A and B are shown apart, each in its own frame.
Chain A
């Protein structure tokens, strides 16, 4: 039922991001991407799953033209990515990448200067830049930290500033490399809430991760990357119903799902429908209790 509604919603939507047969090798030696193709629709919230070294970060750096592929093409909003200076500026505004380690991204001596960096590079007038900085910082809940030196912030706060720096460029697609890595549980929850809100406001979001528990909660589509190749794509329900895919990618089903699989081996019939999130699990439990 849910997926049917979802399909309906998506009719007539253009591809926001398309990657065709992308190949890339480091030093002509180690092939990091072996022909990756994927399509992401406008307004999607996508999770890219894969173990460390699967090529997630390498793929991401192709999406705004930091890396130029050996073979293959990238399309943003239906337009092919070109590598001259002018086009790159345009595409880098459209596709914002939030790096895994905020220390790699935040370089300015104060928070506001760092957030202003992107918009200033776009050549916007100072007034507009200031509006955007204030708006972006308010959006991530970091208003009032404008004059603070970034290295005096906590890890979660730095992450928020890094996201604000990208938001201030008003991207259409936001790509986050392992955004939950190194955050405490509260920080993770706040971050996921923020990303969901941004997604509701129309930003297409791509997240790489290997923390499977949260994925069904936010993602409506999953891609699984193993050794530079996409081995599966689909909704969370479809992906987590394929043990052989998970096995190949060194992944597991969410811990909730595991519970219900074990319950099934104890003799409870799950009718091939395993809950992925806490909410689904709660409903399923109530059903089972009422039945017995």
Chain B
């Protein structure tokens, strides 16, 4: 199954729901989850928000799990590092390898960090999976977030899709010619892919600039606010 976050954001039960409410709810929940030093609270938030995403926004559970996998991998690695390599105080477990030990202090940090971030993930997921990026950016715009940041966000968001497509095509072309058959060829192919993408992005940026200029771009993206004329 292909995971297309943007498609999900446009097609779920909460897409048309007030984006300001979603944005504020997310921000408040993030702050509270990060500020409170309480494991139970983190777990409760995780359960509640997952419930909202799966049952109320009616997002496919497979998509939700995919959304969680990548940050989860980072989270687990980070917390393992925290547990084994940081902190001081009473040693509770000695691995006997290079003097790497787990201390009371580091275990505490590792576990608490894990659960805090775990609580934050579905909060962010709630915003990312139920709200199209255009609406989020629009909200931020009306909330006086600097225009330049919103414009950069918008152009980046748009080009990400073009690049993902391009990477996909190139990767398939490389696979067709057995570019990922062994470790060495994989490394070589990946290198070629990255450098080509870099060169292409330079080309593309020039063409995009030309096409924007052709329509009278003056360095600032105007905001379009149509009135509802449906009746």
Contact of A93 among B161, B212, B216 (CB under 8 A): B216
Contact of A152 among B10, B216, B218, B226 (CB under 8 A): B10
A282 within 8 A of B: no
Enumerate chain A residues within 8 angstroms of B7, measured Cβ to Cβ: 152
Closest to B158 in A: A107
Known contacts A105-B211, A152-B7, A118 near B225 by CB under 8 Å: no
Closest to A113 in B: B224
Binds B, one of A126-134, A200-208, A229-237: A126-134
Are A89's CB and B207's CB within 8 A?
A: no
Are B154's CB and A61's CB within 8 A?
A: no
Closest to B222 in A: A120
Interface SS, B side: helix
Enumerate chain A residues within 8 angstroms of B132, measured Cβ to Cβ: 109, 149
B137 within 8 A of A: yes
Known contacts A104-B207, A118-B216, A109 near B224 by CB under 8 Å: no
Q: What does the 1/0 interface line of B198-212 toward A look like (CB < 8 Å)?
A: 000000100110111
Would you give the shortest CB distance from A143 to chain B, in whole angstroms?
A: 12
Are A166's CB and B207's CB within 8 A?
A: no
Known contacts A107-B155, A107-B208, A151 near B161 by CB under 8 Å: yes
Known contacts A92-B216, A151-B6, A166-B215, A116 near B224 by CB under 8 Å: yes
Are B215's CB and A165's CB within 8 A?
A: yes
Known contacts A92-B215, A126-B226, A109 near B204 by CB under 8 Å: no
Are B207's CB and A121's CB within 8 A?
A: no
Enumerate chain A residues within 8 angstroms of B155, measured Cβ to Cβ: 107
Contact of B218 among A110, A121, A166 (CB under 8 A): A121
A172 within 8 A of B: no
B134 within 8 A of A: yes
Cα A103 to Cα B158 with chains together (Å): 9
Are B204's CB and A104's CB within 8 A?
A: yes
Known contacts A97-B214, A166-B215, A112 near B208 by CB under 8 Å: no
Would you give the shortest CB distance from A17 to chain B, in whole angstroms?
A: 15
Enumerate chain A residues within 8 angstroms of B93, measured Cβ to Cβ: none
Contact surface of A with B, Cβ cutoff 8 Å: 61, 64, 66, 85, 89, 92-93, 96-97, 99, 101, 103-105, 107-110, 112-113, 116-118, 120-122, 126-127, 129-130, 133-134, 146, 148-149, 151-152, 165-166, 169
Sorted from nearest, which 9 A-B pairs have the closest CB atoms?
A: A121-B216, A109-B134, A120-B222, A116-B224, A118-B215, A105-B211, A104-B207, A151-B161, A130-B226
Known: A107-B158, A151-B162. 19 other contacts (CB 8 A): A66-B214, A93-B216, A96-B215, A99-B210, A101-B207, A103-B162, A104-B204, A104-B208, A107-B155, A107-B208, A107-B212, A117-B217, A118-B215, A133-B226, A134-B229, A151-B158, A166-B215, A169-B215, A169-B216
Contact surface of B with A, Cβ cutoff 8 Å: 6-7, 10, 132-134, 137, 154-155, 157-158, 161-162, 204, 207-208, 210-218, 221-227, 229
List 17 A-B pairs, Cβ < 8 Å: A92-B214, A96-B215, A99-B211, A99-B214, A104-B204, A104-B211, A107-B155, A107-B158, A109-B134, A109-B137, A117-B224, A120-B224, A121-B215, A126-B226, A129-B226, A133-B226, A149-B132
